[in-house]
Amino acid sequence: MLLKALRVGLGQVIIFLSFITRPSKMKRSPEAQAQVDQAAAQLSLYQFNACPFCVKTRRTLRRLNLPIALRDAKNNPTDRQTLLEQGGKIQVPCLRIEENGDTSWLYESKAINAYLEQRFAA
């Protein structure tokens, strides 16, 4: 019980620090942002709110100004089940990528951030 309280407390500290130090959003022309928005509609991030690796990935989403849908794999049973059945395991962060009718699942914050940088950075 003490460990759970400690974990919850640390999670809230991580969320708070991330909030007060969050990066500014990338500026794009309205046309370019519309293209990014359309491409980002094919992506969704399965995550836990207080997971430090998920925080790292959400910071990249904010910095790149990406409106990617966030799926709560901890508190939403439907999202958790989808991650397990389609992704193969409950591990976060996990980026679901839908392209040309195919769905792929990308795990590990470092790999997800590299993918997002390569695809959406100016």
> What are the E-state strand segments in the chain?
43-47, 69-72, 94-99, 102-107
CB burial readout 74-107, b (16+ within 10 A) else e = beeeebbebbeeebeeeebbbbbeeeeeeeeebe
CATH superfamily of 42-122: Glutaredoxin (3.40.30.10)
The tokens describing 22, both together, are 């969050």
> What is the residue whose two structure tokens read 């969320």?
15
pLDDT at residue 3, as a whole number: 83
pLDDT number for residue 13: 85
**What is the rounded CA–CA span in Å between residue 38 and residue 3?**
42
The arithmetic mean of pLDDT across residues 25-38, rounded, is 93
User: What pLDDT score was predicted for residue 14?
Assistant: 81
* 99 pLDDT higher than 70: yes
Site of tokens 């591990």? 91
| pLDDT of 122 strictly over 80 | no
CA–CA separation, 78 and 57 (whole Å): 22
pTM: 0.87
Q: Where are the domains of the chain?
A: 42-122
Instruction: Give the model's pLDDT for residue 21.
Output: 84
- The tens digit of pLDDT for each residue in 38-68 reads 999 999 999 998 899 999 999 999 999 999 9
Compare 20 and 56 and report the one with higher pLDDT: 56
The number of residues in the chain equals 122
Lowest pLDDT segment from 7-21, 34-48, 53-67, 88-102: 7-21
